[in-house]
Amino acid sequence: MNGRSNNRREITLRTREALYGYGFILLWIVGFALFMAVPLVQTLNYSFNQVTVTASGINLEFSEWANYSRALFTDPNFIELLIGYTVETLVSVPIVLIFAMIIALFLNVKFRLKGLFRIIFFLPIVITSGPVIKELTAQGAASAPGIANIPAVVEFLATLPPALRSPVQYLLTSFILILWFSGVQILIYLSSLQKIDRSIYEAAAIDGASSWEIFWKIVLPSLSTATVVNAVYTVVTLSHFSENKVIRYIYDQTYDVHGGIGYASAMAFLYFGLMVILLALVYFFLMKWASRGTR
């Protein structure tokens, strides 16, 4: 922008468009490079080193894959935490998506007090980040510990094969917590529901489609993009949630005498790798479903 307008006539339209594009994104690039990209590369570097902080500065001692192998093969907690995280994420994502979709469908219909209900269901956005959730988890209110101790539930859990037991238990105890993660997702669904042209519904109704058929043939396929966005958003918020056990562990290890920065960096990268795999999984399934829906 600055000064570019002088030689505007000499450059092609496409270059101009590109320059404006870069102009709009420039601030972001600078901020991102400084505070995200550079530190990220530095973290990657740390993960291959034994890092010791001294009064004079930070000392690096190259240690190849030592930090990684320690996290994967020696550390008694880390793998356990990762498995727990994977199970929880794979259980939570479908529930959040389905719950958000159902609520959005309801909130898209006109009825009295709809506005109030929309606000209430959007409210979790101020709950899941910040002091509230900290206070809630500290007090043990985010889970429902009572449920897991009911004799019938205990017996039921005992009959399940071990592989299924922990997901089901997680589902029972943290159902409410999972629901609190669906504020933004409901909003995204609502906004894409409202983009569906009403005349499509009318045309379908005239052709004799029931509302059940309209949902499966019209509404669901047009929500496929929103579903992918929501899935990504859900995985990311669940993984970065400050009370997440893996995050807490990495944080503790950063300032731990036996852990250290290098070790924590390696764990962060392993966690990141797992997240990428999970996202790819979710993405793959949803894409498959979306392409089937539009066919």
Nearest CB to other proteins, comparing residues 27 and 163: 27
CB of 27 to other proteins, least distance (A): 5
Of 269, 273, 228, 236, nearest to 65 by C-alpha is: 269
Q: How far is CA 220 from the centre of its chain?
A: 21
CB of 9 to other proteins, least distance (A): 16
CB of 186 to other proteins, least distance (A): 10
CB of 207 to other proteins, least distance (A): 17
Nearest CB to other proteins, comparing residues 114 and 160: 114
Q: What SS3 state is found at 29?
A: helix
Asked if 198 and 164 count as a contact pair (C-beta separation under 8 A), the reply is: no
CB of 161 to other proteins, least distance (A): 30
Nearest CB to other proteins, comparing residues 122 and 289: 122
CA distances from 217 to 211, 283, 289, 293 (A): 10, 21, 13, 8
Q: Which residues contact 259 (CB under 8 A, 6 or more apart)?
A: 252, 253
Nearest CB to other proteins, comparing residues 161 and 258: 258
CB of 74 to other proteins, least distance (A): 20
For the residues of 203-272, what is the DSSP string, one character each? HHHHTT--HHHHIIIIIHHHTHHHHHHHHHHHHHHHHH-TT-HHHHHHHHHHT-SSS-HHHHHHHHHHHH
Task: For 174, list phi and psi in degrees, rounded to 5.
Answer: -115, 20
Q: Give ∠ CA 135-275-104 in degrees, rounded to 5.
A: 65
- The Cα–Cα gap between 207 and 203 comes to 6
Of 5, 193, 229, nearest to 101 by C-alpha is: 193
Asked if 19 and 7 count as a contact pair (C-beta separation under 8 A), the reply is: no
Nearest CB to other proteins, comparing residues 35 and 285: 35
- The Cα–Cα gap between 101 and 124 comes to 16
Nearest CB to other proteins, comparing residues 62 and 164: 62
CB of 198 to other proteins, least distance (A): 7
CB of 166 to other proteins, least distance (A): 22
Nearest CB to other proteins, comparing residues 159 and 294: 294
CB atoms within 10 A of CB 25: 11
